[in-house]
Amino acid sequence: MSTDKKHNLIFLAQYAVILPVLIRLSGASQYTPEVKAFLCQLATIADIEKDNAYFIALKSRAAWGVAVLGMDDHSTKALLTVHREQCRLIKEFNDFVEKARPQVYMDDSDAPLCKALRKADNICQSIKFLVDQSISDALGTVDEVRKAIDGFWKKGTEGFASTSTGIKLFVSHGTVDKPLATAISREVEAAGIATWRDDKDIVGGDSIPDEIARGLRSATHLIVILSQNSIGRPWIKTELDNAIMLFHSDGTPKIIPILLDGIKPPPPIAHLKGIQFDDFDSGMISLFASLGVAQTDRFDLTTVYIFYRKSKKAIETLQWCNQADFFLPINEESFDQLEDMELFFESVGIPDEINTPRRYIRTLLGNMGGITAPGIDEDFYSYANSAYAGISLARKIAYFGKKILRNLNP
């Protein structure tokens, strides 16, 4: 048997067991029909050479690959088990071919084998392109999130802008309560709500009464922060009186009292139910409910920044994995960053249509002083496998980033 033919057989046997696992690992199910066609092609070639021991072994690998594609268990634990069997099948076949005996004769016609190899190569290149595309999409989305965050912190001078919710919130507060007013503004802005505050929307040279009147006319809602320090302050009274007149004439803005220090809504809004804000988190929950913003439509700012920080590291890691040597095991730091990103999505929740089983999971390996410790299965978590598994992770990053952008941007 020629050296070229021997290598072709080895490569085909590897593809027969690697491609099905790759499809399951990457979630690239759109290529399942092509992989099945390739495996059927191998079986057809093997049937022609049905008395040849090499082709009999090759056909058994193809049959194993078809079984893997049909697995119901999509978990990483199942894939790890399949991967170990994959490694065994590859090693056995390689050893078998390398120890070829002269009496096992093969015809020199290699065209069917070469054709099958080209098909397998094309499938691999397609999946590799999918890795590149998924990482690129995720990177582009995260860059947009960064720009949105940068813009979010800039002091606004244009009053109300168009928002994803259509809600325009006028924030009335005294100087002493400015930190709370700012904190509330940042939370609601992250949910796609525009805010108006005198400290950010009135600039030097503006007429204060005119700007306040303009802000009130544009507002759909008004919150007035009432504390021991602010109640009865002239500007708060002016803003509240004007808002009440507008509400009676136009039906807006809806007035929501924010209460601190045991304060109750004073006349003329004593009939309105206020929101106790001595506890910020519970106060925000009540405020969002009053604004008609569902829990699923908003993010707290901490979540936005954690997402940006973790996703940036995860994408950089996936880019490195995608360029590194195919069979080298991933290092601990890189694995940790990918695992950390998956744990983030597990904590915030992802809809079923985009969700996939976690891929970066430590397994119980070795025995250290009688204690079985979690570790990385280095045979499975090569850089290449980590990049292929990253397709689903990159898609989650892009999905979640776009959801944030819909809230932060118009």
CA 126 to CA 291: how far, in whole Å? 47
pLDDT in the model for residue 100: 55
Tokens of 249: 């004439």
Q: Is the dihedral of CA 226, 227, 229, 232 positive or negative?
A: positive
- Residue of 259, 255, 265, 260 lying closest to 291 (CA atoms): 255
Question: pLDDT > 70: what percent of the chain?
Answer: 85
- If one looks up domain 166-292 in CATH, what number appears? 3.40.50.10140
* Secondary structure class of 391 (helix, strand, coil): helix
pLDDT in the model for residue 296: 56
**Range scoring the smallest mean pLDDT among 48-52, 107-111, 120-124, 142-146:** 107-111
Does the structure show a pLDDT above 70 at 240?
yes
Q: Considering just the CA atoms, what is the radius of gyration of the chain in Å? A: 31
Question: pLDDT > 90: what percent of the chain?
Answer: 41
CB atoms inside a 10 Å sphere around CB 207: 10
73 or 221, which is more confident? 221
To 10 degrees, the CA torsion angle through 130, 135, 138, 143?
A: -140
Does the structure show a pLDDT above 80 at 323?
yes
Give CA separation, 62 vs 65, 113, 135, 261, 379, in Å. Answer: 5, 14, 31, 73, 22
The mean per-residue pLDDT over the stretch 76-98 comes to 79
What does the DSSP 8-state code read for residue 244? H
pLDDT in the model for residue 157: 36
The mean per-residue pLDDT over the stretch 199-224 comes to 93
pLDDT in the model for residue 368: 46
Structural domain boundaries in the chain: 3-109, 135-147+301-408, 166-292
Does the structure show a pLDDT above 50 at 155?
no
CA 147 to CA 56: how far, in whole Å? 58
- Count CA atoms closer than 13 A to 221's CA, side-chain side: 21
Confidence of residue 94 (pLDDT cuts 50, 70, 90): confident
pLDDT in the model for residue 238: 92
pLDDT digits (tens, 9 = 90+) for 248-277: 999 999 999 999 999 999 989 999 999 999
Quote the pTM value.
0.65
Does the structure show a pLDDT above 50 at 162?
no
**Range scoring the smallest mean pLDDT among 116-120, 159-163, 339-343:** 159-163
pLDDT digits (tens, 9 = 90+) for 336-380: 999 999 999 988 888 767 778 888 888 755 444 555 566 777 778
The mean per-residue pLDDT over the stretch 83-87 comes to 82
Does the structure show a pLDDT above 70 at 92?
yes
The mean per-residue pLDDT over the stretch 288-315 comes to 82
Rounded to the nearest 5°, which phi and psi values hold at 348?
-90, -20
CA 194 to CA 294: how far, in whole Å? 16
CA 68 to CA 77: how far, in whole Å? 14
CA 385 to CA 222: how far, in whole Å? 53
Q: 363-368 and 371-375 as β-strands: parallel, antiparallel, unpaired?
A: antiparallel
Confidence of residue 168 (pLDDT cuts 50, 70, 90): very high
Q: Is 42 in contact with 16 (CB distance < 8 Å)?
A: yes
